[in-house]
Structure 1
């Protein structure tokens, strides 16, 4: 770990020039004291790093210095494979590995390509934390030691013991056969089997995890996309889910889709409004979702949902009618 950090420190100085100890500490996710110790170690090893004093001082490398220590380690290579979603890397506990890997990739480029790539990257922002309405998209936090153990069991193909709390239930220990990891809308999930039955666990509800030595009972190959779709279908058609038919302003379609569990059918009426058949977790979820859209959505079925929305609107209208 320290060797990787030292390489990352050198690459940061190569690519950005002079940096303060505070900036380096923030980028490397360590204390400033650790940065100072690392600088001293690099200097002792012959790396030409020097300090510049003053208000705008910091640490820098002598011009022209280049290191060939840019080989990717296992986690960095893995982070690049999931780098299509920066938040996917975060959900699987690979955020710091992704940052380190990208430093190495940039440093390995020829100098003229490196400068161009850095300039282009500054012009692209993918999946920001807030949308245009300033609504923050918070990713679920999973402690690194827990997600590291889960990853280890998934990749090694061994059984996994987890302390897991299902919704509205106390945490319990259970031993599962891990199949794969999935991230959806910043939420990480573990697909597994338990006593031969399919199970899906949200990573944020795992409070402890230990990869065991015993081999997991699972197929040699897996199609995670298909497995996820099958589990989603079973979830949507079971329990207390509710199917709603609604007419929606096309400009608000994405809001419905983002809150619904699934879109079962979609067509456009003659007046341009969309007719959506969607599934919600329960009637309370459906009423909340459509209420957010005001007059831009009308629930056609079920009748119980129409009655719930009408009663809510009537109560609010009565409140303001009575006010002075």
Structure 2
């Protein structure tokens, strides 16, 4: 992208007194003519770039101009690099491979060892267990459709096992709880929907383009859809000591209520769908659904069906 190239050029010129146009062209895989056009753009942005011809010549920021290094402090740069490394664990755009090196140019030599130590201090691996190359290829294909503003079609199997054909306007890829989703406008439902990538098959980028609607992604609209009041059911569950930590991790301490005998009940609200029963069953005998009765009956029914499969 041009913007990324312009920013990278400024970073390099901050760290070096002078750079050859041919060197920049090779680094960014563009022509020398493109580099000189970029220099004009940077100049118009208020950062004075000068060029000199002949041996020893090159491109540099005007000596009388000083871009404050303190714009980003070293600990802030540590945070940026650590975040890049963590994001790269689940998504590997080409730009990430060079971003780390560019940021290193902003670190004084005397701080290089501390920089290395700080950026290796912690790492967040956000990938799901058993991530496959097929998933990566699917993400790249959807990403290309988003860039081109092209609609896509795919076969989708929902949580109930129903297989449906979908045509959507793809908006953004979302990694949540280690799994990848597509947030898209569904042309079948005429509304925004959240699609899990590992439930998608036979994805095709269509020739039809679309105009993006205004959406506020920073408000996490998929979470709002998940917790819509008309979808939520309040459950009361009896929680054994062995499950309290896991319930706490999901819902926090405020859901717990203790009686005089130290029995622990949790009051939680979750969307009522097929996912809910699977969520409750993962706790096994460590929880018991007390209310509502129709959810308790559904859990009992699934257990009876499992007993038929595995034998009593």
Q: Which residue of 2 aligns with 1:180?
A: 172
SS in structure 2 of the partner of residue 165 of structure 1: strand
**5+ residue gaps, structure 1:** 1-79, 130-135
Q: Is the contact between residue 146 and residue 172 of structure 2 (CA under 8 Å) also seen in structure 1?
A: yes
TM-score (norm 2): 0.53
For 1:163 and 1:311, the matched residues in 2 are separated by 31
Which of 278, 300, 303 aligns to 1:285? It is 278
Q: How does 1:127-276 map to 2 (within 5 A)?
A: 127=125, 137-139=129-131, 142-155=134-147, 158-167=149-158, 168-170=161-163, 172=165, 174=167, 176-195=168-187, 196-204=190-198, 205-210=200-205, 212=207, 214-219=209-214, 221-234=215-228, 237-238=230-231, 243-249=234-240, 252-256=243-247, 266-270=255-259, 271=262, 273-276=264-267
For 1:267 and 1:274, the matched residues in 2 are separated by 6
Q: Which residue of 2 aligns with 1:301?
A: 291
When residues 153 and 311 of structure 1 are mapped into structure 2, their CA distance, relative to the original with a 3 A threshold, is closer
Q: Is the contact between residue 153 and residue 178 of structure 1 (CA under 8 Å) also seen in structure 2?
A: yes
What RMSD in Å do the two structures reach over aligned CA positions? 4.5
For 1:111 and 1:165, the matched residues in 2 are separated by 53
Q: Is the contact between residue 139 and residue 186 of structure 1 (CA under 8 Å) also seen in structure 2?
A: no
Q: Is the contact between residue 157 and residue 164 of structure 2 (CA under 8 Å) also seen in structure 1?
A: yes
Q: Alpha-carbon deviations, 1:150-197, whole Å to 9, x = none?
A: 2234345x23223232233457462x2223222111111111113332
For 2:131 and 2:83, the matched residues in 1 are separated by 16
Deviation at 1:94, TM superposition (A): 2.4
Deviation at 1:107, TM superposition (A): 5.0
**5+ residue gaps, structure 2:** 1-78
For 1:112 and 1:211, the matched residues in 2 are separated by 53
SS in structure 2 of the partner of residue 182 of structure 1: strand
Deviation at 1:285, TM superposition (A): 1.4
When residues 192 and 312 of structure 1 are mapped into structure 2, their CA distance, relative to the original with a 3 A threshold, is closer
Q: Which residue of 2 aligns with 1:124?
A: 122
For 1:207 and 1:128, the matched residues in 2 are separated by 26
Deviation at 1:269, TM superposition (A): 2.0
Deviation at 1:116, TM superposition (A): 1.0
Q: Which residue of 2 aligns with 1:56?
A: none
Q: Alpha-carbon deviations, 1:37-61, whole Å to 9, x = none?
A: xxxxxxxxxxxxxxxxxxxxxxxxx
SS in structure 1 of the partner of residue 227 of structure 2: helix
For 2:302 and 2:185, the matched residues in 1 are separated by 44
